[in-house]
Amino acid sequence: MKMLLRAGRIIDPSEKLDIVGNILIEDGKIKGYPSDTKTIEKDKRVKIIDASGKIVSPGFIDLHVHMREPGFEHKETIRTVCEAGAAGGFTSLVCMPNTNPVNDNATVTEYILLKARKEGIVNVFPIGAITKGEAGESLAHIGEMYEAGCVGISDDGFPVMNSRVMRHAMEYVMAFDIPVISHAEDLNLSGGGVMNEGHVSNRLGLRGIPNASEEIMVARDIILAGLTGARLHIAHVSAAGSVQLIRDAKARGIKVTAEATPHHFMLTDEAIFDYDTNAKVNPPIRTKADVDAIREGLRDCTIDVIATDHAPHTEDEKKVEFDLAPFGISGLETALSLSLKLVKEDVLSLPEVIKKLTINPAQIVKIGRGTLKVGSIADVVIFHPETVFTVDRMKFRSKGKNSPFHGWRLSGRVEYTIVGGRIVYAS
Amino acid sequence: MVFHRKHILGLEELTAEEIVVILDTAASMKEVSERDVKKVPALKGLTVVNLFFEPSTRTRSSFEIAEKRLSADVLNFTPDQSSVVKGETLLDTARNLEAMGAGIIVIRHSMSGAPWLLARELKSSIINAGDGSHEHPSQALLDLFTIKEIRGDIGGLRVVIVGDIRHSRVARSDIWGFLKLGAEVRVVGPPTLIPREIEDMDVKVYYKLDEALKDADVVIMLRIQKERQESMFFPSLREYSKLHGLSHEKLRQANDKVIVMHPGPINRGVELSSEVADDVNSVILDQVSNGIAVRMAMLYLVASGGRKV
Amino acid sequence: MDSETIAQTVSRITDEIISTNRDSGELVVVGIRTRGIYLAQRLAEQLKNITGIKPPLGTLDISLYRDDLQIKREWPELKKTDIPFTIDRKTVILVDDVIFTGRTSRAAIEAIMDFGRPSSIQLAVLVDRGHRELPIQADYIGKKIDTNKNEKVRVLLNETDGKDEVLINQE
């Protein structure tokens, strides 16, 4: 199968490439960058995609997705989350283990991979749990899961409160060279909280989660990473203090990376002013000072990755009293356009945004993607950065319509998503 | 007329003019309550549902009497006896009531924001009778009405709110109401029970009761809940009452004509000494009849405000 | 009607009230809504001038008794009702400026009945402009004026408008 992507602006940060050119895909791999396409175009077997005026980049990789399968299929399935990912320009999704049953052993890992092979139109890479049942007490079958295909470990959804357990986990994974992804939250400080602790939570009479809850655990995990030499990745950074801690740790040579979600670099807690549960998320969206710090962290590369923490829930589950609504935002289908807003607002350049969605996440979980180097697997996204649209959450391909961005006018639309040389999404 | 709202969910979003309209209307309603035949046909044919998820005899009875004095048809719905126990959501319960023709739903709920959910999803008018730690508009309005009756003008008065500010919906509504009508508001209590951000609301924060009480005109004592002690907000009720309980001696700091109020029910010996409790009780009787008048006003205005939509 | 006519009318009505109620119990006077109140005050003054006794004077806001609240787009602002005396076994003279459809008077009668059990209620109006929609008539009429239903009759009084006058305007 041959495919020619013609005359697009090719941005591949892994090769520091930013040129207008052509890409030839053959047998699912990047075959070359032909400058003269006339002969190729005469070959009737070649599918030609006109990318002129559009951006061609490696397919996006989302380091933080909740697929909900097995166990919560009413919220999302592997099939629907992959469709949502493809529509958002993602060719690889890394999924968290807080399913039911929890992905804490090889059997569940294999189930997920099998389902993904059968029904998922994009690549799926599972994260295994750190502890059995994510209960924070004893180590999960990390070795088995690694061999079954897990690319990292995390108890996401929960922190590992016991520092000794977290230390052992970090030491244990040194044998497998996979990252430990930390959901940094001190449950004693955050307990019962439903939004950021601050001016807005006080006015609304809602219990708050202070910045300290995250910052304390970020500090602890950084210190443990220093002690053990493990590769630490901080998930969904939300607090200004966390950004500073990560910055200092990197300067001291600690092996730590970090991610931020679009809702954390775009919204403040004012978005909850009328108890909109679509903005209820953990960690919570915080104040302007925190948003500014996260943007600064993206700019100076303290934060390496943009990830969505895609967390779908049903409408019924969200249409309840604020205290009772589950945490989560369905983010796969707004990620690109919100990230492009950073370019519009002069926080990052376009290649920098693409870097945080492609080669950076790829290197953290070592999946060998996120690049358009000749010979690599052809995972490509073609998008138009200027197409304007209004977000309609009811039209999401994800089962989760829970988005606080409904009605926003954004620009940036995915035109084609290609996985292994096959088109899995066309607008 | 200045009042165009379909709902009364809190005092935060009301303007000073709107609050004054409610108080003025309450004055007319109070006159109705002083007649022999305490009934007017204004809400005849309107169904009002009292949807109380938290037990509350006083507030509910007060609303019920107010509704009946306006000739409305009243339905009391306390979900502990019903389908909510079987897992019915708040919205489904409320939609059923709306389908039965409820024109106004008066809701009290243990979670902040519940009335907003109903206002967003239903066609009925919603009156907030207390939501979680957020607001309790009818209590604050009756506090304002009572003070206005006694002192004439709220502007310039020094109002002190004592106790668990953090968890108190009465405190928040009182703060909004008194500030908008021009009073100076002070809060005092143990630091663990006063959120830092309360200063952004333009109130003065005190941790010592006698400093806060200096020259006070109005003292509003909040109820302290035993659960707060169990959650480590303060060491014991004994220490709480020693530092923040009100006695005649501590009241000497305040203005001669100081009015002491308590939204009830009182924990004698904790928030108030027995003697102060007896003084407070005399104001409470006024507050009961004012409460009915204020609630009649809220019902009348919301029934009319909803029509313009 | 000009201010002199209005004054003569008030005087005449007072005489009629006195002669009709020679044998009845005590009189009380209640003015309806805004302008009825000032007319009631004048009547009460005039009654004092003639009989030497000033009857108890009350004001009545009928907003809560209107029969059109369920269809009205905008509800009236409530004004004070003040009847600080008992009306049991009294003769209540209700006073209004204009009687038109009769609905205001019906509402006033219902309101008065909620205050007690008067021995009788009598209605005094400055202007009767016809077009009744209910079987209600005034006992004392200042002047009967033929109007079209769509005409507006306005009574101006010194106390509120600076002068005494009755005007009829085309809508």
In tens, the pLDDT along A316-342 reads 999 999 999 999 999 999 999 999 999
Q: Is B105 in the same domain as B32?
A: yes
Q: Is A37 in the same domain as A186?
A: no
Q: Is A15 in the same domain as A82?
A: no
Contact yes or no for B134 and A320 at CB 8 A: no
Residue B309 has what pLDDT?
Answer: 45
SS3 B246: strand
CATH number of the domain enclosing A333: 3.20.20.140
Bridge partner residues of B8 (DSSP): B127
Q: Is B282 in the same domain as B141?
A: yes
Percentage of the residues of chain A whose pLDDT score is greater than 70: 100
Subunits in contact with chain C (3 or more CB pairs closer than 8 Å): B
Contact yes or no for C78 and B28 at CB 8 A: yes
Give residue B229's pLDDT band: very low, low, confident or very high (50, 70, 90): low
Count the domains in chain A: 2
Q: Which of A199, A202, A322 sits opposite B113 (nearest CB)?
A: A322
Distance to chain B for A64, nearest Cα, Å: 30
Structure tokens that stand for A120 in this block: 């998922």
Give residue A393's pLDDT band: very low, low, confident or very high (50, 70, 90): very high
**Average pLDDT of every residue of chain B:** 90
Q: Is B182 in the same domain as B205?
A: yes
Identify each DSSP E strand in B1-157 by its residue range.
Answer: 47-52, 73-77, 102-109, 125-131
A167 is a domain residue: yes
Catalytic residue among A104, A155, A309, A379: A309
Closest Cα partner for B305 from B149, B124, B58?
Answer: B124
A371 is a domain residue: no
A370 is a domain residue: no
Count Cα atoms within 13 angstroms, Cβ side, for B84: 17
B158 is a domain residue: yes
CATH number of the domain enclosing A404: 2.30.40.10
Q: Is A265 in the same domain as A223?
A: yes
| Contact with chain A for residue B132, Cβ under 8 A | yes
* Residue A411: domain span: 2-56+376-426
Distance to chain B for C104, nearest Cα, Å: 14
* Average pLDDT score over residue span A400-407: 98
Question: Which chain C residue has the Cα nearest residue B304?
Answer: C75
Q: Is A345 in the same domain as A395?
A: no
Q: Is A65 in the same domain as A48?
A: no
Contact yes or no for A323 and B135 at CB 8 A: no
B5 is a domain residue: no
A357 is a domain residue: yes
Residue B82 has what pLDDT?
Answer: 56
* Average pLDDT score over residue span B117-140: 96
How far apart CA C59 and CA C44 sit, in angstroms, is 12
Contact yes or no for A321 and B121 at CB 8 A: no
Among this protein's residues, is A43 annotated catalytic? no
Closest Cα partner for C137 from C106, C110, C93, C168?
Answer: C106
Token pair 């961005």 in the structure block, residue: A405
Closest Cα partner for C132 from C163, C159, C156, C98?
Answer: C98
CATH number of the domain enclosing B124: 3.40.50.1370
Tell me how many degrees the CA angle A138-A140-A146 measures, rounded to the nearest 5: 150
Q: Is B202 in the same domain as B283?
A: yes
* Average pLDDT score over residue span C81-91: 92
Contact yes or no for C75 and B28 at CB 8 A: no
Q: Is B162 in the same domain as B268?
A: yes
A420 is a domain residue: yes
Percentage of the residues of chain B whose pLDDT score is greater than 90: 63
A/C touch flag: 3 or more CB pairs below 8 Å: no
Which residues of B lie closer than 8 Å to C, measured between beta carbons? 1, 21, 24-25, 27-29, 31-32, 35-37, 39-42, 44-46, 70, 300, 303-304, 307-308
Contact yes or no for B117 and A204 at CB 8 A: no
Q: Which residues of B touch C113 (CB under 8 A)?
A: 37
CATH number of the domain enclosing C143: 3.40.50.2020
Which region among A257-266, B74-83, B188-197 has the lowest average model confidence (pLDDT)?
B74-83
Residue A123 has what pLDDT?
Answer: 97
How far apart CA B123 and CA B101 sit, in angstroms, is 10
Give residue C73's pLDDT band: very low, low, confident or very high (50, 70, 90): low
Q: Is B200 in the same domain as B148?
A: yes
Q: Which residues of B touch A321 (CB under 8 A)?
A: 90, 109, 111, 113-114, 117
B203 is a domain residue: yes
Q: Is B303 in the same domain as B239?
A: no
Q: Which of C65, C72, C74 sits opposite B40 (nearest CB)?
A: C65
Token pair 């077997």 in the structure block, residue: A45
Q: Is A179 in the same domain as A74?
A: yes
Residue A111 above 70 pLDDT?
yes
Does the reported pTM lie above 0.80? Answer: yes
* Average pLDDT score over residue span A98-118: 97
Q: Which of C69, C70, C79 sits opposite B28 (nearest CB)?
A: C79
Contact yes or no for A324 and B111 at CB 8 A: yes
Q: Which of A202, A207, A321 sits opposite B117 (nearest CB)?
A: A321
Count the domains in chain C: 1
* Average pLDDT score over residue span A291-317: 98
Residue B50 above 90 pLDDT?
yes
Q: Is A169 in the same domain as A187?
A: yes
Which residues of C lie closer than 8 Å to B, measured between beta carbons? 61, 63-66, 69-70, 72-82, 110-111, 113-116
Q: Is B148 in the same domain as B260?
A: yes
Residue A372 above 70 pLDDT?
yes
Distance to chain A for B121, nearest Cα, Å: 9
Q: Which residues of B touch C58 (CB under 8 A)?
A: none
Q: Is A246 in the same domain as A349?
A: yes
In tens, the pLDDT along A4-27 reads 999 999 999 999 999 999 999 999
A208 is a domain residue: yes
In tens, the pLDDT along C35-53 reads 899 999 999 999 998 888 8
Give residue A266's pLDDT band: very low, low, confident or very high (50, 70, 90): very high
* Average pLDDT score over residue span A238-267: 98
How far apart CA A189 and CA A208 sit, in angstroms, is 9
**Average pLDDT of every residue of chain C:** 88
Bridge partner residues of A382 (DSSP): A56, A416
Q: Is B296 in the same domain as B216?
A: no
* Residue C144: domain span: 3-70+77-169
Q: Is B251 in the same domain as B152?
A: yes
A262 is a domain residue: yes
Distance to chain B for C165, nearest Cα, Å: 27
Q: Which of A204, A274, A321 sits opposite B109 (nearest CB)?
A: A321
Count the domains in chain B: 2
Q: Is A389 in the same domain as A417?
A: yes
Structure tokens that stand for B9 in this block: 């969910």
Q: Is A217 in the same domain as A76?
A: yes
| Pairing mode of beta strands A17-26, A29-32 | antiparallel
* Average pLDDT score over residue span A86-101: 97
Q: Which residues of A touch B121 (CB under 8 A)?
A: 319
Contact yes or no for C79 and B27 at CB 8 A: no
* Residue B196: domain span: 137-287
How far apart CA C72 and CA C60 sit, in angstroms, is 21
Contact yes or no for B41 and C77 at CB 8 A: no
Residue B224 above 90 pLDDT?
no
Question: Which chain B residue has the Cα nearest residue A273?
Answer: B113
